Amino acid sequence: MTTADGTSFVGGLLTQVKPTFMAPAVGMSVFGGLLAPSVSLWSGSLHAAAVASALYTAHVVDEYVDAHLRGEEPPALSLRRTQFAIVLASLCCLSLAGLLALDSSVAAAGSVVVLWVLAILHAPILDTNPVGVTIDYPVGIALALVGGYLAQESSLAQSVVAIGVLFVVILSGVKVSIDRTDIEFDERIDKRTIPVVLGERRARVVSAALFLSSAVLVAVLVTQSTLPRTALASVPVLLGGGVVAFDSVAERVVVRQMVLVYPVTAVLFVAACPTTSCTVEPLLSGLS
């Protein structure tokens, strides 16, 4: 089975597998699971697969909206096959959510359903306004983290919620910088990102402000004893992310901010682990 340009149906489906977006979300599912006191490989795998299928659903909906409805790019699949792919991906995601409800908790399944809703709404609605286009992926990442934890543990720890909120703020800062790299294309297609609406210079300020806000939020969470003092090690890194936001070369900003996210992630994991009696706490204690 091939499309008019000779692309196979399977090949067209594979074009929507985008590791750049899927890998961080699946990684956050694993991150959340490892924060739990005990880990079931089966439950963790179910949740990770559900997260991946939710992201894939978002990608095929993007294909449908951007290629077939708006004509912003050449389609990889015919209209009918794209619609079929959306149904197939949705069934896969919701089936995995159902298995999670039976295997671990309704809350874990619910987090996947919310992810699926975000996937369906991303291109047609959330991607059309500055707030939605900036925060929808970061919110999805936070849901993957929280859901990964709930797949292993019935009740949600405050520290896990706190880290989820932090990632929404941090990754929103990165997303503003990413949108700076696409400002000319987005202006051409009337996509209302923050750089398009506010201008490139003000977008730098917004990105820096989000990183600064995340640093302040870490300090507040430590003050409130939601996170231990070790979380403060992430503050200088977050401030660094805010400083690099002012670089005039957007591509360079994106690379540097994304690199800085990794040590922040590691610090927050090590900080939160004792608060949840995580499964790898003995190992971390042995290394300290």
CA distance 218 to 227: 8
Residue ending a domain, among 127, 154, 181, is: 154
CA distance 163 to 230: 13
User: Which CATH number goes with the domain that contains 166?
Assistant: 1.20.120
Residue 177 shares a structural domain with residue 214: yes
Nearest to 29 by CA among 61, 58, 53: 53
Task: Give the pLDDT confidence score for residue 6 in this predicted structure.
Answer: 47
CB 26 within 8 A of CB 12: no
Task: Give the pLDDT confidence score for residue 66 in this predicted structure.
Answer: 82
β-bridge mates for residue 2, sequence order: 8
Residue ending a domain, among 134, 154, 174, is: 154
Task: Give the pLDDT confidence score for residue 287 in this predicted structure.
Answer: 56
Residue 96 shares a structural domain with residue 233: no
Task: Give the pLDDT confidence score for residue 159 in this predicted structure.
Answer: 96
CA distance 234 to 219: 10
From the CB of residue 27, how many other CB atoms can be counted at a distance below 10 Å? 17
CA distance 245 to 147: 30
CB 218 within 8 A of CB 252: no
Claim: this prediction has a pTM higher than 0.85: yes
Task: Give the pLDDT confidence score for residue 17 in this predicted structure.
Answer: 83
Residue 113 shares a structural domain with residue 192: no
Task: Give the pLDDT confidence score for residue 284 in this predicted structure.
Answer: 66
Residue 191 shares a structural domain with residue 112: no
Domain carrying residue 212: 157-276
Task: Give the pLDDT confidence score for residue 14 in this predicted structure.
Answer: 77
- What are the 10-residue block averages of pLDDT along the chain, 288 residues in total? 56 79 94 95 97 95 87 82 93 97 95 97 92 96 98 94 98 98 91 95 98 98 97 98 97 97 96 90 62
Task: Give the pLDDT confidence score for residue 201 in this predicted structure.
Answer: 96
Residue 20 shares a structural domain with residue 127: yes
Residue ending a domain, among 104, 134, 154, is: 154
- Number of domains comprising the chain: 2
How is residue 189 annotated by DSSP? Answer: T
